[in-house]
């Protein structure tokens, strides 16, 4: 019972902030931010206050991880396998170019800025796959220093904050369609929460598509971590330091839950009213998760990140953003 109470306060607080974001969004004359992004911003504004109360931390941490995944899983109720297959086809073509760009530019930054190869690799995989999750997964595998892991996550965070705020406006300014914008965000924004926020800030359709593309992209964490395990083993001279990769631990299992919900919807047996209700619940869960992530984000810690790694991260991210924007336009034109 004690453990449940310790989680409850943080979960309730995340729900309250998400509810406040919905209310504020409804009161605004123009829906230019969206409840999901407002939840993230409100959480960040409250971070200096919430950080003083440890009782909220367990529930906030749980909401930022578990509720986010539950929201993504439930989001599958609005999709069919034909939609996922179509988005996946586009995503694979885009990923071919963005992954090559991320690691190619990362290697150049490694040489130009004299950044160690582990940090450069963390910055690259963060951009290519799924932000902080990819960094946290790859870091121990190649035995990167905690400092390098912190740098990579911080660089990801700063760029994601910029993209979440700027991308919806840029998308409208460029006249991108829901499909084009969803593909762009799904392949160029790093963290899953940021993809969700930036996608739904443009439109619900773009948000769903961006999430699908992001899930497809997340699957690549398994082969890339395996490849880097081999690279690290080749670079190390002693047998005892060779890393071991646990595929069970690094596999994003929540994707299977998402596909299971899509399969249920694909049967055509789910009433439209239930689909609408579950879709609304999914979006609220995502807003809760973003509120929790915002409350865990300290701007002071981010400000202490080194200059060169940050510049390298921005260069890698910007290169992928440009390549993804150009590529999605070509895909929609010729495929």
Per-residue pLDDT tens over the stretch 230-247: 777 777 655 455 556 566
Residue 182 included in any domain: yes
pLDDT band at residue 302, thresholds of 50, 70 and 90? Answer: low
Question: What are the pLDDT digits (tens) for 271-282?
Answer: 989 988 998 998
- The tokens describing 130, both together, are 């799924």
Residue 57 included in any domain: no
Q: Is the pLDDT of residue 126 over 50?
A: yes
- Overall domain count for the chain: 1
pLDDT band at residue 18, thresholds of 50, 70 and 90? Answer: very high
Residue 165 included in any domain: yes
Q: Is the pLDDT of residue 290 over 60?
A: yes
**Distance of alpha carbon 188 from alpha carbon 102, whole angstroms:** 10
Residue 13 included in any domain: no
Question: What are the pLDDT digits (tens) for 64-101?
Answer: 888 988 988 888 887 777 766 766 777 888 889 999 99
Residue 195 included in any domain: yes
Torsions phi, psi of 16, nearest 5? -65, -40
DSSP one-letter string for 29-84:
SS-SS-HHHHHHHHHHHHHHHHTT-GGGHHHHHHIIIIIHHHHHHHHGGG--HHHH
Residue 37 included in any domain: no
Higher pLDDT, 262 or 181: 181
Q: Is the pLDDT of residue 173 over 90?
A: yes
- The tokens describing 51, both together, are 């950080």
Which DSSP letter does residue 94 get?
H
Q: Taking all residues of the chain, what is their mean pLDDT, rounded to a whole number?
A: 83
**Distance of alpha carbon 12 from alpha carbon 59, whole angstroms:** 8
**Distance of alpha carbon 151 from alpha carbon 135, whole angstroms:** 10
**Distance of alpha carbon 142 from alpha carbon 330, whole angstroms:** 36
Cut 0.75: pTM above it? no
pLDDT of residue 149: 80
Q: What range defines the domain where residue 232 resides?
A: 80-282+299-334
**Distance of alpha carbon 89 from alpha carbon 212, whole angstroms:** 11
Return the top range by mean pLDDT from 7-16, 187-196, 199-208: 7-16
Give ∠ CA 169-170-173 in degrees, rounded to 5: 85
**Distance of alpha carbon 181 from alpha carbon 198, whole angstroms:** 10
Question: What are the pLDDT digits (tens) for 25-52?
Answer: 888 776 556 788 788 889 888 999 998 8
- The tokens describing 36, both together, are 């999901």
- The tokens describing 187, both together, are 């392949």
pLDDT of residue 305: 53
Residue 53 included in any domain: no
Other C-beta atoms lying within 10 Å of the C-beta of residue 230: 12
Q: Is the pLDDT of residue 191 over 50?
A: yes
Other C-beta atoms lying within 10 Å of the C-beta of residue 54: 9
Residue 171 included in any domain: yes
Please give the share of the chain, as a percent, with pLDDT higher than 90.
28
What Cα–Cα distance (Å) separates residue 83 from each residue in 26, 202, 209?
A: 30, 19, 9
**In contact, 98 and 288? CB cutoff 8 Å:** no
């Amino acid at each position: 019972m004690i453990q449940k109470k310790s989680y409850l306060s943080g979960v309730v607080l995340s729900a309250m902030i998400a509810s406040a974001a919905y209310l504020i969004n409804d009161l605004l004359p123009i829906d230019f931010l969206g409840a999901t992004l407002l939840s993230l911003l409100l959480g960040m504004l409250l971070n200096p206050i919430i950080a003083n109360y440890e009782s909220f931390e367990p529930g906030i941490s749980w909401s930022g991880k578990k509720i986010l995944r539950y929201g993504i899983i439930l989001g599958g109720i609005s999709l069919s396998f034909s939609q996922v297959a179509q988005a996946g086809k586009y995503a694979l073509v885009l990923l071919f170019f963005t992954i090559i760009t991320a690691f190619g530019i990362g290697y150049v930054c490694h040489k130009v800025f004299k950044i160690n190869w582990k940090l450069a690799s963390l910055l690259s995989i963060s951009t290519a796959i799924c932000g902080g999750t990819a960094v946290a997964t790859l870091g121990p595998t190649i035995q990167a220093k905690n400092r390098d892991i912190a740098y990579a996550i911080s660089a990801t965070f700063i760029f994601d904050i910029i993209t979440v705020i700027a991308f919806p406006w840029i998308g409208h300014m460029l006249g991108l369609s829901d499909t084009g914008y969803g593909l762009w965000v799904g392949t160029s924004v790093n963290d899953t929460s940021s993809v969700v926020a930036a996608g739904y800030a443009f439109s619900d359709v773009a948000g769903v598509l961006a999430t699908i593309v992001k899930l497809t992209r997340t699957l690549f964490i398994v082969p890339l971590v395996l490849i880097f395990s081999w690279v690290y083993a080749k670079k190390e001279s002693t047998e005892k330091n060779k890393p071991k990769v646990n595929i069970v631990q690094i596999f994003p299992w929540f994707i299977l839950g998402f596909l299971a919900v899509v399969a249920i919807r694909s049967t055509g047996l789910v009433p439209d009213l239930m689909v609408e209700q579950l879709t609304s619940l999914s979006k609220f869960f995502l807003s809760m998760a973003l509120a929790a992530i915002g409350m865990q984000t300290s701007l002071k810690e981010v400000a202490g990140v080194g200059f060169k790694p940050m510049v390298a991260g921005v260069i890698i991210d910007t290169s992928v953003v440009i390549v993804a924007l150009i590529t999605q336009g070509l895909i929609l034109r010729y495929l």
